[in-house]
Amino acid sequence: MHLVLISGLSGSGKSIALNVLEDAGYYCVDNLPSALLPTLIEQLRSEGRSEVAVAIDVRGGAGIENLPQMVEQLRSGGIDTRFLFLDAKDDTLLKRYSETRRRHPLARDNLTLSEAIREERDRLEAIANVGHHIDTSDLKAGTLREWVRQFIATPPGAGLTLLFQSFGFKHGIPLDADLVFDVRCLPNPHYDPELRPLTGRDAPVVAFLEAQEEVGRMRDDIFHFVSTWLPNYVRDSRSYLTVAVGCTGGQHRSVYLVEWLARQFDDGGKPASGDLRVLLRHRELALAPTAQP
């Protein structure tokens, strides 16, 4: 059986993720009390279900803090278990609840919406780093769907997935980042009118940055740091390691650097080893408006 567990903050996109899994052929269960997970899995396993997705969050009541131990028990029992945690910044969640006018599951007469969100975040702290963490703040629904598809496309037992993500500091540091590198000190193509509308994937921007000595030193230092410490993260039995590189706007320098870094750890589009899979994401480019025909 392949099991995907989904959890996270209310309003962070769990329903979208569950719908992606249902469309992919998974048998999906929403809002399951965590204490019932072992019983459910045994029942579905006896029925011959091979792909199952279960959403567990604070709506299911007490006991969610025991989920990490349950995940280990399921894995030791031979079930390929992956955990996806969806998160978002408080102001994003406040905006979403304001727009939908839905009631927060922890809302009570003596709690404001902000206080309910903080209480939920505290309750989920014990499980926030169990598996793959996605910050959905400001993400389009289509982008989140694609990122969830990438997550479930990881082959069982694939080892560590190394994710490189570019971002802009002016839009905030990604909540899902494990390692963050600040490259705002590097020469900025933004100040060249011809380069400003381009991105770090375009040849003129690449040529500009590769002509700067400090850019080469920075990229080599980041590569050396990640490659040196990567074996330690592998030994820590991690499934995902997210390396975030940020410049001011997330369009030029950070994009170029994560593209370069991903290529170094990826051999011609294939994982550098059987224990490493490389993914690449550009947060701000994914948020950019699509041109209308």
> One-letter amino acid identity for 202?
D
Does the pTM surpass 0.95? The reply is no
Which band of pLDDT confidence, cut at 50, 70 and 90, is reported for residue 290?
very low
- Sorted by where each begins, the domain ranges of the chain are 2-152, 160-287
The per-residue pLDDT for range 11-27, each reduced to its tens digit, is: 999 999 999 999 999 99
Contact 217, 183 (CB under 8 A): no
The per-residue pLDDT for range 206-228, each reduced to its tens digit, is: 999 999 999 999 999 999 999 99
Hey, what CATH topology would domain 2-152 get? Rossmann fold (3.40.50)
The per-residue pLDDT for range 63-79, each reduced to its tens digit, is: 788 888 898 899 888 89
Question: Residue 254 contacts by C-beta under 8 Å, 6 or more apart in sequence?
Answer: 166, 167, 168, 183, 200, 245, 246, 247
Q: What is the pLDDT of residue 288?
A: 53
For residues 214-224, b (16+ Cβ closer than 10 Å) or e, as one string? ebeebbeebee
